[in-house]
Amino acid sequence: MPDYENYKIAADYILERTGFKPELGIILGSGLGHFGDEIEDPIEVPYSDIPGFLQSTAIGHAGKFIFGTVSGKKVACMSGRFHYYEGYDFEELALPVRVFKLLGVRALIVTNAAGAVNESYKPGDIMLIRDHIKLMGGSPMRGKNLDEFGERFFDMGNAYTASLRKLALEAAEGSELTVREGVYFYMPGPQYETPAEIRAIRILGGDAVGMSTVTEVLTASHCRLPVLALSVMTNMAAGVLPQPLTSQEVIDTAKRIEKPFTKYVKDLIGRI
């Protein structure tokens, strides 16, 4: 398990190589990676160059940091994220957000593709995550506590920062997208859920289901980094519709929504 010093080495490598001090960290979800093309004066740093960094294996994830300016804000964007289903332990998944923290960002924006559990949602809708449910054991904060980042036991009551959600709802007023708040239910994947699991998730209070984001938000809460998390409903969750779920459907919806979603996120960044 990395110690504080290991995170520091990774962050210092980036700061020295780029000479860039980002204000906002961004982690892009599956199919939403083209947001990186919107970054002005980009400086790219492949994960493979960074000492001790993880390597991206998921389809549709590029595996590099892109530093630059969006809507007048200095951003550090991760194009390619890390998931439990790739074989990483929860503890390893703390790394990216801790590096963001050490780069000095004041907030983290995360996007993801998710299945709509709430039957009033439609593919292409955006859900601002208001809260999450993770019933599966394990945590990126398991093991020795690194006091430099935060306390052993930490609050999750405002993990999805209320003031950022308010900004995101305001930004939605000028957008063609349907944006609302809801609860994200974490499932480890890589299999999609069974129809019975989705019925259970609905009863438990989940509005959307996905395989990412929660480890990042736990890590951000531990080091008191404000978070805004946006889920793109790429499909109705298992069992809602008669046909089987395919990753092609997820990719197709993400592609369809990419233009307005990119515009929305850009506008939002200008407000943060």
Label each residue of the chain as H, E or C.
CCCHHHHHHHHHHHHHHHCCCCCEEEEECCCCHHHHHHCEEEEEEEHHHCCCCCCCCCCCCCCEEEEEEECCEEEEEEECCCCHHHCCCCHHHHHHHHHHHHHCCCEEEEEEEEEECCCCCCCCCEEEEEEEECCCCCCCCCCCCCCCCCCCCCCCCCCCCHHHHHHHHHHHCCCCCCEEEEEEEECCCCCCCCHHHHHHHHHHCCCEEECCCHHHHHHHHHCCCCEEEEEEEEEECCCCCCCCCCHHHHHHHHHHHHHHHHHHHHHHHHHC
Does 79 bind ligand HPA (CB under 6 A)? Our answer is no
**In terms of CB distance, is 102 or 257 closer to ligand HPA?**
257
Q: Shortest Cβ contact with ligand HPA: which residue?
A: 115
Q: For residues 22 and 76, is the Cβ–Cβ distance under 8 A?
A: yes
Contacts of ligand HPA in 94-123 (CB under 6 A): 113-115
Does 235 bind ligand HPA (CB under 6 A)? Our answer is yes
Does 257 bind ligand HPA (CB under 6 A)? Our answer is no
Does 192 bind ligand HPA (CB under 6 A)? Our answer is yes
Closest approach, Cβ 179 to ligand HPA, in A, equals 18
Does 217 bind ligand HPA (CB under 6 A)? Our answer is no
Q: Which of 209, 229, 268, 272 binds ligand HPA (CB under 6 A)?
A: 209
Stretch that binds ligand HPA, among 65-73, 158-166, 220-228, 232-240 (CB under 6 A): 232-240
Does 10 bind ligand HPA (CB under 6 A)? Our answer is no
Does 230 bind ligand HPA (CB under 6 A)? Our answer is no
Closest approach, Cβ 115 to ligand HPA, in A, equals 2
Does 31 bind ligand HPA (CB under 6 A)? Our answer is no
Does 210 bind ligand HPA (CB under 6 A)? Our answer is yes
Closest approach, Cβ 26 to ligand HPA, in A, equals 19
Residues of this chain that interact with ligand HPA (CB under 6 A) are 113-115, 187, 192-193, 209-211, 234-235, 237, 245, 250
